Structure 1
Amino acid sequence: MGSIMLMIVGTSTSLFGQIFTGYLSQRIGRKKTIAVFAMTAIVLAIPTFFGLYNADSAYERIVYTIILIIVATTGFGPIPAFLSERFPTEVRNSASGFIYNGGLIFGSWAPLIAVTMLSKGGELVPILLGMNVIVGSIIILIGAKINPETRDADISQ
């Protein structure tokens, strides 16, 4: 089981996790769902990267990949709804698209950062990769803190 299997596991975990957190945000709110997953990512990012980096078997790598993806990406499930509920109808699509895709542009740097760090080797790799997730999670927490809850918001204007 190589990197192809980890990609399949990671992508599937992210898909089903984002569906779950989208559903969860309908129950407990967008901000709370996003914040809970961001805080969990802050706590678990470095230990999970250490486990993944030092895993001896493919099954260990799969378990750590699942944990990492759950805490690092599934919290994004409510973000499209959250963004759609933040803007008036005149600019809703363009504003949401600009912000969401702007985030994707910055997020797309993560694999480049990871490959660069991994190619350098060293014991700091899990810490540096974890810090990458932690910084992103802090940015998400700030956004959750300064924005209002949008669940059940009237978006007809």
Structure 2
Amino acid sequence: MMTGLWLLTNTTVILLTARLASDAGLPATQVSVAMGIASFAQAIAMAVAGHLSTFTGRRNLLVTWGISSAVLGPFLWWAAVNSHSLGRAALLAAALQVATVAAYGPIACYLSERFPTEVRSTGYGMGYSLSLIIPALYPFYLPLLEGVFGSHPAIMGLVAVGGILVTVGALMGPKLSSADIEADIDSVAMGATR
């Protein structure tokens, strides 16, 4: 699940920033403004997602967000990098980040709730950090993928894969309903590890 989120982060934040300049032709100041607006929208959506997951259940929310990322993400990414105005780029970058990486909203809680107190920091750290390795190596594999599929389709495919990984990872995890969330965190974690 976290590998999917990191893959989404790299494609919709890092790569999008570069491609708004190179592909959409926006000057650097407009790219900064567009990405600043997108980050603001993402921050609000993350807070809403975190709060909403308390009512819907963490897994339900993450599965829904993963599907949203896999289905909407590639199209929003393509539209953003093919926009040629600041307003359109900002709106599409914001929609893209809300549909994809705003899923980080409940992640801190979800990972913490997965592990009992005695291994919580280790489990959280491993789950959050080790999952970064494969997505972080994109400078090595992205040029190969672009050579085979093309510049835009390669990244759009990575966005879809990120969404699929979030969905599958969330489906493999515990449900953590609103009743579970209200329980003692160690009781929840012990139930989640079974």
TM-score by length of 1: 0.84
Q: Among 114, 125, 131, which residue is 1:86 paired with? A: 114
Which of 150, 166, 169 in structure 2 is aligned with 1:124? 150
* Deviation for aligned residue 1:106: 4.1
The 8 Å contact of residues 113 and 186 in structure 2, kept in 1 or not, is answered as: no
RMSD: 2.5
Q: Secondary structure at the residue paired with 2:175?
A: coil
C-alpha spacing 1:16/1:104, structure 2 compared with 1 (3 Å): farther
Contact 1:18–1:74 (CA<8 Å) still a contact in 2? yes
Determine if the alignment matches structure 1 residue 101 to structure 2 residue 129.
yes
Tell whether the 8 Å contact from 1:45 to 1:131 is kept in structure 2 after alignment: no
For 1:7 and 1:104, the matched residues in 2 are separated by: 22
- Give the counterpart letter for 1:156 in structure 2: D
Q: What is the aligned partner in structure 2 of residue 62 from structure 1? A: 90
C-alpha contact (below 8 Å) 1:86/1:150 kept by paired residues: no
Which structure has greater helix proportion?
A: 2
Query: What is the total number of aligned residue pairs between the two structures?
Result: 153
Which residue of the partner structure matches residue 150 of structure 1?
Answer: 176
Question: Which letter maps to 2:165?
Answer: I
Aligned-partner Cα distance in 1 for 2:89–2:63: 26
Partner of 1:73: 101
1:109 Cα deviation (Å)?
4.6
Residue aligning to 2:190: none
Partner SS for 1:2:
helix
Give the fraction of aligned pairs with identical amino acids, expressed as a percent: 26
Q: Does 1:138 align with 2:164?
A: yes
1:91 aligned counterpart, secondary structure:
helix
Which stretch of structure 1 is more off in the superposition, 26-35 or 126-135? 126-135
1:98 counterpart letter in structure 2: M
| Partner Cα distance (1:116, 1:2) in 2 | 26
TM-score scaled to structure 2, two decimals?
A: 0.69
CA distance in 2, matches of 1:96, 1:109: 22
Q: What residue identity is the alignment partner of 1:69?
A: Q
Over 3 Å counting, the alpha-carbon distance change for 1:95 and 1:134 in structure 2 is same
* C-alpha contact 1:46 1:126 (8 A) present in aligned 2: no
Distance in 1 separating the partners of 2:46 and 2:63? 14
